[in-house]
Structure 1
Amino acid sequence: MLSKGHIIRGISLSFIAALAVCSFCLYLFLYFAAYGAIEARLTDFAKEFNVKNTESQIQNSIVKQNSTFTIQILDFETSKPYFKKQDHCYSLLMPLSQKTLKITQNITQELEFLHKIAQAILLFDCVLGLCFLVILTQFTKLIQQTTQSLSMQLLKIQPQDIRALDENAIPNLFKPLVSGFNHTLKRMQDYFSQEKQLYAGIAHELKTPLAVIKTKCEVVLLKKREKDVYIKALEENIQSVNTMQGIIKTLLSLGRLESELLKGTETIDVNAYLKGIASDFTLISQKENKIFYHKIPDTPLMITINPALLAQIVRNFLQNAFKFTEKGKEIVLESVLENEILKICVIDTGCGISSIDDLCMPFKRVGHKGGAGLGLFLAKQAANALGGDIILENRKDTRGAIAIFSLRIKDLKKE
């Protein structure tokens, strides 16, 4: 694990290296720009000299000098112009009537300017490096203190006492991080709260039929009774056992849901998948003498999703619809895609929903129908895992209920 000193040293060396490279590039730019300007002046003066002087006026080895340039006619011939640097002088040599024209400029001022520029860059680098080191040290210290503060608060958190982190003790720079932690802690708190409520509900739901079985057995055994009384008591006990088996079966579904959450996704044609589910319930509708049909587009709709979780939601919607819809009444399964939001709706003609509040909580039942009251709870868990939402509402004509699963489609594929 890297220590504070290693972190500061590593970042400092990286910054110094980057600063040195940038400074060197800047100096090279100024260097070539200065010499480029000198060469341009020499070239312009050479052109002007050729225009003003004719061949008859050019003498061998003459030397002319003004305030800026020294002009020499050398008694040898060169094939092409070139520049030459010697000490504090920079010269241009170029062909001139079988001789060589040499124009020289003293560049002492330019060299001194470049030298001062190099000193200024070096001084600037030192000051900037020192300031950066001070700021980095303080910032690293701030991060270390903040990390220690967060660690201490997180270590105090227990499953039975999940509290939000104190944002007032954290610098503003790290408050978005703390907000993210608090959001996660809130979800954990909700999860543990639901888990406690679920366990309490399981204990209550199993306790009642067991108490009924025990009481009936005790009453029947108080005295010798007729054979029919024993048979009736056993039949009632079997019904209580069946109730407990239904609860246990639903709890096993909860375990399967937890395992499905760990599985990956796959790309499926959701419309074809929904039609497959609809075909199963078509057989059930025929057996129960209920009208069931679907409105699912024939156009393939390819999405990346966990199909088992999707089936958990849709099947629960349909099971509830069939449970509360009387014989001869209709149930509809619809699938609609609007603005990249997939909506899967199940519409029934049952008794409707008297109270929608907390309907997805465990062991929450509607009416006097049987069941453990965990179906919508499992569907809600699956919807959350898929990143979607469940909406339950009564029909506007008050002739039944509507269950909607909505999901914003990612990586949408149409064929």
Structure 2
Amino acid sequence: MNTRSVRFRLTVWYSLAFFIASLVIFASFYLITKNTLYSQTDATLKSHGNSIVEVITKEGNLSCQTCQMMARNAFLSEFSDIPGMVVILMDSTGNIVGSSVTVNRSDKKLSQLFEQAATAKSPHITDHTISDLRMRFWIDPIYKNNQLYGVVFVGHPIDVIENSLNNLLLILGAVFVVFLLPTVFGGYLLAKSAIAPIASISEKLKKISHENLDERVDTPDTNDEIKELAVTFNSLLDRLNSAFKRERQFIGDVAHELKTPLATQRSNIEIIRLKERGKNEYIKALDETLIDNKRMSQTLENILDLAWSEADVTAHFEVFDLSELLEEIRELATKMASSKNIKITGETAPDIKIHGKRDKLFHAILNIVDNAMKYTHENGTVTIMLHKIRNLVHVEIKDNGTGIAKKDLPHIFERFYRASKNEKASGSGLGLAIAQAIISSHHGKIDIDSKVEHGTTVSISFPGT
């Protein structure tokens, strides 16, 4: 048996809980029974003892002879019908002046009890063995005017009580042993039942690999922690499946992005080597090869940017002027938009500074502006705005282009996702994914609002310095 398993530990805990609970219950029952039996005996002894003391003290200051006579009368009237009751009277010197049973007058234990009673000066109860018989005594010293006149001993055998308590202890022990083994077995079954759903989930998870990530563990309709665990595992599998699909798509798309320029490069090189060419043909072939090389470099740069954004890079942040950066992007965008006669407008508030990595944010915002120009019709307008409200810096990039369909909006930040799948749009499909990742790494937020054929508005916010 695996002593480290949860099943074993639960069984031990169940058994230990039963052991402690049984021990507390049985011990409490035993102690309450013992206390009840002794309390009843003590009450009886006290009642009879007080009656004897009352009879003796009524006559006032009596001589020893009178004490003896009254003691005998008290025994006859009070204890003649009580089996097992023992009454002993001692005078102020410790001599026995009356007894309901025959006792050894030289018994040292009685002398010790007398000395204890005379010293205590108050009634008390004690257990002692007299003539090999366990007795429980109620002892009351009689004082008048601070003078000891005698001591009353009222006793009763407690061997029956002790035997009953011993038998009760044996019965409780036997009951405990009888129930212990079934309880351990029941604890094992309960632990097995409690662990069964987890074991089922574990077995199911062992069968799930990257080849069948679409499978899910069964979710019990119990509304307990097991159901929550199953739901959590299924949610994890959903994320893993989604991540694996993205990775497969990522690898496939990257391979595709690199495959085309590499094939073009090889084709150009092979063609140019077939025969002697003129200078201009060589230059043209080299230019085409350079274009393909730049495409590959851009794709690899995009991948590196994604990797950078997912790492902890805040230690390399520094304060820079975002207003100056936006002006540079505006100037570059104006040049890029000239081929489509797109107008770049907007206002940039001066001297707005933030904390971050300047070149990465430049790349991210330029990607968004490039997307805006890419999907804006000729003679359209792209607006770039920068302003600060309280402690937040807001960047807004707005165009009046083709817009994004509502069904595409939840996916536009996914890697290699293009909202217009049927259009031959250039680029790797990583631009917005990179932009979002870089902005998030700067503790920023990006939102997109778009309507088909009415344009798109991208809102970016950063914490100010």
Give the structure-2-normalised TM-score: 0.59
Aligned counterpart, 1:182? 234
Post-superposition offset of 1:361: 1.5
Distance 1:278 1:327 in 2: 28
2:131 is the counterpart of 1:84:
no
Q: 1:331 to 1:235 in 2, by over 3 A?
A: farther
2:298 is the counterpart of 1:242:
no
Query: Which residues of 2 match residues 15-414 of structure 1 at below 5 A?
Result: 18=20, 21-23=23-25, 25-27=27-29, 29-30=31-32, 33-34=35-36, 37-38=39-40, 41=43, 45=47, 54=57, 56=59, 60=67, 62=71, 64=75, 65=78, 72-75=88-91, 76=94, 78-80=118-120, 81=122, 82-86=124-128, 87=133, 89-97=135-143, 98=148, 99-105=150-156, 111=162, 114-115=165-166, 117-119=168-170, 121-139=172-190, 141-142=192-193, 149-167=200-218, 174-214=226-266, 227-228=279-280, 230-256=282-308, 260=311, 279=320, 281-289=322-330, 291=348, 318=365, 320-321=367-368, 323=370, 329-332=384-387, 347-351=395-399, 354=404, 355-365=408-418, 372-374=428-430, 376-377=432-433, 392-394=447-449, 400-403=457-460
Structure 1 unaligned residues grouped into runs of 5+: 298-306, 337-343, 407-415
Q: 1:124 to 1:113 in 2, by over 3 A?
A: same
Distance 2:165 2:240 in 1: 64
Post-superposition offset of 1:202: 0.5
Post-superposition offset of 1:394: 1.3
Alpha carbons 2:450, 2:456 under 8 Å: kept = yes
Alpha carbons 1:356, 1:392 under 8 Å: kept = no
Alpha carbons 1:246, 1:371 under 8 Å: kept = no
Q: Spell out, residue by residue over 1:27-86, the C-alpha distance to the aligned partner (whole angstroms, 9 max, x if none).
A: 564266437735873696466876776352676462544569765433235221432124
Distance 1:312 1:73 in 2: 111
Which shifted more, 240-249 or 181-190? 181-190
Post-superposition offset of 1:220: 6.2
Distance 2:54 2:200 in 1: 81
Is the partner of 1:130 in helix, strand or coil? helix
Which shifted more, 197-206 or 173-182? 173-182
Give the fraction of aligned pairs with identical amino acids, expressed as a percent: 16
Alpha carbons 1:347, 1:400 under 8 Å: kept = no
Alpha carbons 1:84, 1:91 under 8 Å: kept = yes
Is the partner of 2:230 in helix, strand or coil? helix
Is the partner of 2:399 in helix, strand or coil? coil
Q: 1:399 to 1:253 in 2, by over 3 A?
A: closer
Post-superposition offset of 1:332: 5.0
Q: 1:177 to 1:317 in 2, by over 3 A?
A: same
Which shifted more, 188-197 or 245-254? 245-254
Post-superposition offset of 1:196: 0.5
Amino acid at match of 1:94: D
Post-superposition offset of 1:114: 3.8
Q: 1:294 to 1:280 in 2, by over 3 A?
A: closer
Amino acid at match of 1:393: I
Larger radius of gyration: 2
Give the structure-1-normalised TM-score: 0.65
Distance 1:252 1:141 in 2: 50
Distance 2:274 2:151 in 1: 138
Q: Spell out, residue by residue over 1:315-368, the C-alpha distance to the aligned partner (whole angstroms, 9 max, x if none).
A: 8865555556788731357798xxxxxxx8854132286241311221235799
Alpha carbons 1:89, 1:107 under 8 Å: kept = yes
Is the partner of 1:237 in helix, strand or coil? helix
Distance 1:223 1:284 in 2: 50
Q: 1:203 to 1:398 in 2, by over 3 A?
A: closer
Alpha carbons 1:345, 1:404 under 8 Å: kept = yes
Alpha carbons 2:448, 2:456 under 8 Å: kept = no
Amino acid at match of 1:18: I
Is the partner of 2:89 in helix, strand or coil? strand
Is the partner of 2:204 in helix, strand or coil? helix
Which shifted more, 94-103 or 173-182? 173-182
Q: 1:292 to 1:114 in 2, by over 3 A?
A: farther
Give the total of aligned pairs: 377
Post-superposition offset of 1:377: 3.7
Distance 2:321 2:45 in 1: 92
Alpha carbons 2:134, 2:159 under 8 Å: kept = yes
Distance 2:352 2:55 in 1: 95
Post-superposition offset of 1:2: 1.8
Amino acid at match of 1:350: K
Q: 1:73 to 1:312 in 2, by over 3 A?
A: farther
Q: Spell out, residue by residue over 1:352-406, the C-alpha distance to the aligned partner (whole angstroms, 9 max, x if none).
A: 86241311221235799976433554677799999x9977331899772235799
Q: 1:248 to 1:324 in 2, by over 3 A?
A: closer
Q: 1:329 to 1:389 in 2, by over 3 A?
A: closer
